[in-house]
Amino acid sequence: MKTIITSISILTLLFTTALVVGDDDRYKKEKHDEKSFFSRLFEKDLDVAPVKNTVYKEECGSCHFAYQPGLLPARSWKKIMGNLENHFDENAELDKEVQTELTNYLVANAADHANYKRSRRIMRSLSKGSTPLRVTETPYFIRKHDEIPSRLVKDNPELGSFSKCAACHGNAEKGSYDEDDVRIPGVGKWDD
């Protein structure tokens, strides 16, 4: 019985040590309270956090895919939200209160504040101070899509652009961008 308890104690110690040692440097700097520890434990293997702000879904998602905040750094969201009168050649101005609410939501949940695997990878791909205004401009996105011939997307009448995430990633809205689930409209399952 003593051997079993000792073995369990050793395994628990190894598991806990692996979690702490394997964690990103960013988390070594932050306060490790019980809630953040368990949040990091269960979130670290997910893609990106799904959009949970209903105002964001309604306001932004009515014109285009409601991109998860974890797909861009906070500085990008600030710049995008600070120029809504010229939002990719469209006027997307909002009431000041709504604009402030959405900016706060996007910044608080941006890639540099997230512990989701794709958010962390997006941040690692960016040079210091880089401020991409499109998810498709991030080096991480470019690398993950570099084997897909442009003709299958840009010349595809059902797509026309790499910016239509949900068209190929059926679970994109849920925050899942698993490459094994990619289906390009008019082409079918994509397997690089």
pLDDT tens digits, residue range 81-112? 999 999 999 999 999 999 999 999 999 999 99
Query: Which tokens in the block code for residue 58?
Result: 């309604």
pLDDT tens digits, residue range 145-186? 999 999 999 999 999 999 999 999 999 999 999 988 899 999
Higher pLDDT, 106 or 20: 106
* Dihedral (Cα; 140, 142, 146, 152), 10-degree rounding: 130
Above 60 in pLDDT, residue 36?
Answer: no
The domains of the chain are located at: 54-185
> Which of these, 181, 184, 179, lies nearest to 167 by C-alpha position?
184
Q: For residues 93 and 170, give the distance between their C-alpha atoms in angstroms, rounded to a whole number.
A: 29
Q: For residues 98 and 101, give the distance between their C-alpha atoms in angstroms, rounded to a whole number.
A: 5
pLDDT tens digits, residue range 105-119? 999 999 999 999 999
pTM above threshold 0.85: no
Q: For residues 165 and 159, give the distance between their C-alpha atoms in angstroms, rounded to a whole number.
A: 10
